[in-house]
Amino acid sequence: MFLADCHNHTQCSADCEESLLRVAEQAARVGLSMVCTTDHLDLLGRSGKVLDHWDWRPCIEQLEQARALCPKGLELRMGIEINVPHLFPERTRHILGQAELDLVVGSAHNLQKDAMDFCEWTYPDESCCYQALDDYFDSLLAMSGMEEVDVLAHIPYTLRYMNDRDGNHVTLDGYYERIENILSNLIARGAGVELNTNRGKSVNDYRSILECYRRLGGEIVTLGSDAHVAQDIGKGILPAAELLRELGFRYYTVYRRRRPEFIPL
């Protein structure tokens, strides 16, 4: 089966030190056919500081080097994960227009309220969690209408910190009207959603979201491990594909030059 990991990070991300070549070597070992890197393009830092410099050269140079040396039969593509593009629409268009990308994944790592990264907050109780979730889903709704975003990343993202790290038990049950609006916006403009396995730990977290997406007529779903070290590349991709098949999807999606390609399940 053709398996592709379309959300992962290398040394071109501020929170990762891994080379793309090592990622490619591990991808071949675990049976992947394609890797699309999505290094972080952060418009805000973790503290909320505006980051006003971006240089495409490291991403492009490491891709060229890795393609020359990577294992035979593995295809490498280059995407980007852009954080809070809805807060900086003009700058987003300018930066994205400077590179030939295969995929643009949109994410919201920072709150709109005080611009802090969700991972920098602590969540002592459910009330605090739901305040942050209100902010988060406002961002996703704004982002879902942006033509610059091909795929919306990891919708349950904040639960990594609220539940897995800080021990809460919040759910997204109260947010499904907002989630439906977000998914409907994506479907209307031919954009997609991501099943982000969080290194193989979070596949089933997407079941209800994907059921809703399919009921609304959505078809474009990319798969990504969110690996930040080579050993995590591809983790959860096969179970993610199996979940899509179980839910009635006929294919998952990869992107080339910002256009979807459909891989039969």
Q: Would you state the pLDDT for residue 113?
A: 83
Query: The domain containing residue 165 runs over which residues?
Result: 4-264
Show the low-confidence residues of the chain (pLDDT under 50).
none
Q: Would you state the pLDDT for residue 105?
A: 98
Helix (H, G, I), strand (E, B) or coil at 143: helix
55: left (phi over 0), alpha (psi -120 to 50) or beta: beta
76: left (phi over 0), alpha (psi -120 to 50) or beta: beta
| Residues 6 or more apart whose Cβ sits within 8 Å of residue 135 | 111, 112, 113
> What is the CATH classification number for the domain harbouring 18?
3.20.20.140
Chain centroid to Cα 8, Å, comes to: 8
| Residues 6 or more apart whose Cβ sits within 8 Å of residue 97 | none
Spell 213-250 as b/e; 16+ CB within 10 A means b.
bbeeebbbbbbbbbbbbbebbbbbbbebbebbeeeebe
Q: Would you state the pLDDT for residue 52?
A: 87
Q: Cβ distance 39 to 80 under 8 Å?
A: yes
Among 15, 135, 22, CA closest to 84: 135
Q: How many domains does the chain contain in total?
A: 1
Would strands 259-264 and 251-256 be described as parallel, antiparallel, or unpaired?
A: antiparallel
Which pair of structure tokens corresponds to residue 191? 């954009």
Spell 101-114 as b/e; 16+ CB within 10 A means b.
bbbbbbbbbbbeee
Mean pLDDT, all residues of the chain:
97
Q: Would you state the pLDDT for residue 114?
A: 85
Q: Would you state the pLDDT for residue 64?
A: 97
User: Model confidence over 109-137: pLDDT tens digits?
Assistant: 999 988 999 999 999 999 999 999 999 99
